[in-house]
A and B are shown apart, each in its own frame.
Chain A
Amino acid sequence: MAVAEPYVPDPLGPARRFFRSPQSGPRLSGSLRSSLRDTNRAAWYAGGLFTALTVLAVAGPALAPHSPLVPAGAAFTPPGHGGFLLGSDSIGRDELSRVLYGIRTSWFSALGVIASGVLIGGLVGLLAGAAGGWLDEVLMRLTDAFLALPGPVLAIAVVAALGPSLLHTLVAVGIVWWPFYARIVRGEVRSLAARPHLEAARLSGASRWSLMTRHLLPGAAPAIVVTASLDVGNLILTLAGLSFLGLGSPAPAPELGAMAARNLSYLLQSWWVPIMPAIAIFMLAFLSNMTGDFLRDALRDT
């Protein structure tokens, strides 16, 4: 039954069409149309927020009024005084500039770890789900064992063994982060494999490789994207916690978690020095959680 679909401007159209069952597709009732508009708006919000955060992370250093490492005025200047919007720290460096640099590190670190988690986990999950049999059994048992361990605690031990540095922190968190994605991708792939269009592709003689890359992977993509976007906030907080414990870059580097930790002793006399970086992390995590929520609403089956 081929009926022309009514035109609705929709950036996520392909993803949604993928999900839509043939029966409900062509007939758009009034309420469905308005819910489509809602998912549309959610998609634009998610895209907008994500772009805004990335632009802030890229352009942050250019926006910074001072150097993040060199003192620019009197120490402990309160916010809004002496040209320091967020105040100055214990040796007179501009908090705003340091926070802007820190946001860049936090944002791209989180995205990097998510990407590695999706890549490794996706590969393991895809292999396990598509191959089945003993390979599936072995890979998933391994995944479950890692999922059953407290990831952040394990990450602390990994960085402590490798020696504190930002790179080691990212590696450690990457190591404990992938099993979650392996589980999700494998689940998606297994449920997709039972669907008729996969059966049809198999019958038409598609190779294993093309089944995986053409049919299974695109099918699992929406679930991965939603999960990953809901996970960015978590990851920002975890990385900030490790940085707070002194597992990130060494001293003068403007890292948000470490900035809060190193200035803990100034809390009662100059609250802004440790609090401003903590608020920056809160904002980053909050906005990424909102992005994830919007994206989930946008990609929810219509």
Chain B
Amino acid sequence: MNPLTFAARRLGAALIILLILIATMFTLSHLSNTDPAHAYLGAGASKAAVAAERVKLGLNLPITTQFLHYVGNLLHGNLGVSYRTRNPVTQDLAEYLPATMELAFYAIILALLLGLALGIATAARWRGARILKFVMVSGASAPLFLLALLGILLFYGHLGWLPATGRTSIPNPPTGPTGFLTIDAILAGRFNVLLNALQHLIMPATVLAIGPAVSIGRVLRGSLVTVLREDYVRTARSKGLRDRAVLLRHALRNALGPALSMTGLQAGLLLAGDVVVEQIFAWPGIGYYAAQSIPVGDFPAISGVTLVLGLFYVLINALVDILQRVADPRVRA
């Protein structure tokens, strides 16, 4: 199949999946035990006012019409109004999203690098490989909040090397044009902000990256071990190349595919963990927004966050599939 046709098909599938997600969220909003009309008007509202609000919100219409309205509103970027902040959810998300994007971006890069290192180190023949495998099982078993708490205890409480909360401690940081504080700081020429932002990023990004890194490392190790048994690797060895050159130059390229797919899949785990990590580190992203919305049952806000995270997840995985198709001719068969 032509790569372009494949890309179009893959994106079509992604679209259907997103529709299913939207239908799920619509169903959930109707299952929700909070009546939106009551939530907006407060407990003391009169019956007439609630009835009028229900009409205003379109809750008296047939369910199919409501669904079409719901989809139409989504396409216009209208996700409803948050019960808690009383702002349109879209506005809240726009405010909180850049921080999450930045954190997730660095966490995924870090997970990929760490995963590569772990995969190569455990596939190579040396004494530390066994110990490293044990460390990896531990990393995969540690709840995010344990890692986060231990990190704060050690690097903030005990050593005082790293800050524990927020994106930056410098007042009036540059805002825009990208929303990534690290990039905006470079563009504005304020390198003290860049340094400070990076310090704030280290702990949350590392905590988020460890779980996915272990999964990526395991998959990479598996495919490396398989590739290392192939004939061309033996040829490379027998023509006198050193182990390291064989591993890094010859085997790694061909073993990378499954690890990249895993990175896409792990993005989902990372996004779910993001909610926990942002709450612990008071990182002003959509995970923090969601965590604040959960105790008060602010369903429009939570549903908005779920839709955005779901959209990212589906797009990232479609992109990984398409890229792999382009990069590795063997997948095209």
Residue-wise interface mask of A (274-299) relative to B, using a CB-CB cutoff of 8 A (1 in contact, 0 not): 11001101100110011001000000
Known contacts A153-B313, A156-B306, A163-B33; A233 and B140 CB within 8 A of each other = yes
Known contacts A153-B309, A244-B276; A278 and B149 CB within 8 A of each other = yes
Number of A-B contacts (CB under 8 A): 145
Known contacts A261-B145, A278-B143; A161 and B153 CB within 8 A of each other = no
Q: How far is the CA of A191 from the CA of B180 in the complex (A)?
A: 49
Shortest B232–chain A CB gap in Å is 27
Q: Tell me, yes or no, whether A151 is within 8 Å of chain B by CB.
A: yes
Known contacts A161-B32, A285-B143; A260 and B149 CB within 8 A of each other = yes
Decide if B268 touches A151 in the complex (CB within 8 Å).
yes
> Could you say which residues of chain B place their CB within 8 Å of the CB of A279?
146
Residue-wise interface mask of B (88-114) relative to A, using a CB-CB cutoff of 8 A (1 in contact, 0 not): 000000000000000000000000000
Q: Tell me, yes or no, whether A189 is within 8 Å of chain B by CB.
A: no
Shortest B307–chain A CB gap in Å is 9
> Could you say which residues of chain A place their CB within 8 Å of the CB of B137?
286, 289-290, 293
The 8 Å CB contact of A275, one of B21, B153, B293, is: B153
Q: Which residue of B lies closest to A286 (CB)?
A: B141
Decide if B146 touches A282 in the complex (CB within 8 Å).
yes
Q: Tell me, yes or no, whether B303 is within 8 Å of chain A by CB.
A: yes
Q: How far is the CA of A93 from the CA of B6 in the complex (A)?
A: 60
The 8 Å CB contact of B280, one of A148, A161, A237, A264, is: A264
The 8 Å CB contact of B310, one of A149, A164, A260, A282, is: A149
> Could you say which residues of chain A place their CB within 8 Å of the CB of B28?
157-158, 161
Tier of interface size on chain A = 35 or more
> Could you say which residues of chain B place their CB within 8 Å of the CB of A150?
268-269, 271-272, 309-310, 313
Q: Which of B57-65, B252-260, B294-302 contacts A (4 or more CB under 8 A)?
A: B294-302
> Could you say which residues of chain A place their CB within 8 Å of the CB of B272?
150-153, 156, 238, 241
Shortest A161–chain B CB gap in Å is 4
> Could you say which residues of chain A place their CB within 8 Å of the CB of B144?
237, 241
Q: How far is the CA of A202 from the CA of B171 in the complex (A)?
A: 76
Decide if A281 touches B271 in the complex (CB within 8 Å).
no
Q: How far is the CA of A160 from the CA of B302 in the complex (A)?
A: 7
The 8 Å CB contact of B141, one of A233, A247, A268, is: A233
Q: Tell me, yes or no, whether B290 is within 8 Å of chain A by CB.
A: yes
Q: How far is the CA of A277 from the CA of B50 in the complex (A)?
A: 44
Decide if A157 touches B302 in the complex (CB within 8 Å).
yes
Can you pick out 14 interface pairs between chain A and chain B where the beta carbons lie within 8 Å of each other? A153-B272, A154-B21, A154-B310, A157-B24, A158-B28, A241-B276, A244-B143, A245-B275, A245-B291, A260-B149, A267-B152, A267-B153, A271-B149, A289-B141
Query: Using a CB–CB distance below 8 Å, which chain B residues touch chain A?
Result: 13-14, 16-17, 20-21, 24-25, 28-29, 31-33, 137-138, 140-146, 149-150, 152-153, 157, 268-269, 271-273, 275-276, 279-280, 290-291, 293-295, 297, 299, 302-303, 306, 309-310, 313-314, 317
